[in-house]
């Protein structure tokens, strides 16, 4: 099987970073997408809890934008 990048990485219209103030609406869209995909209620609840902490974490760390490095920092924080 040929390895290819994920489809969403090819879209140049997708911003690479978001302002911290714009994170909450983006995360809500993610949760709605999960509900539309008919994921279980438990899965959606856990996802909502985790993503709700992202905005708090970014503000606590003093991040002004959220991109890949900030997301990696957040997930490392969750695993510690």
Q: Is residue 3 part of a domain?
A: no
State the total domains in the chain.
1
Q: Is residue 40 part of a domain?
A: yes
Q: Is residue 69 part of a domain?
A: yes
Query: 54 vs 5, 7, 15, 51, CA distance in Å?
Result: 25, 24, 18, 5
pLDDT tens profile 25-73? 888 888 888 899 898 999 989 888 888 888 889 999 999 999 889 999 9
Domain span holding position 52: 17-79
pLDDT at res. 68: 87
**SS3 per residue for the chain:** CCCCCCHHHCCCCCCCCEEHHHHHHHHHHHHHHHHHCCCCHHHHHHHHHHHHHHHHHHHHHCCCEECHHHHHHHHHHHHC
Q: Is residue 35 part of a domain?
A: yes
């Amino acid at each position: 099987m040929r390895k290819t990048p994920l489809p969403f990485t090819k879209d140049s219209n997708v911003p690479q970073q978001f302002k911290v103030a714009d994170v909450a609406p983006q995360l809500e869209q993610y949760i709605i997408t999960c509900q539309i995909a008919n994921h279980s209620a438990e899965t959606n609840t856990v996802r909502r809890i985790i993503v709700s902490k992202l905005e708090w974490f970014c503000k606590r760390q003093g991040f002004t934008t959220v991109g890949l490095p900030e997301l990696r920092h957040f997930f490392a924080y969750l695993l510690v």
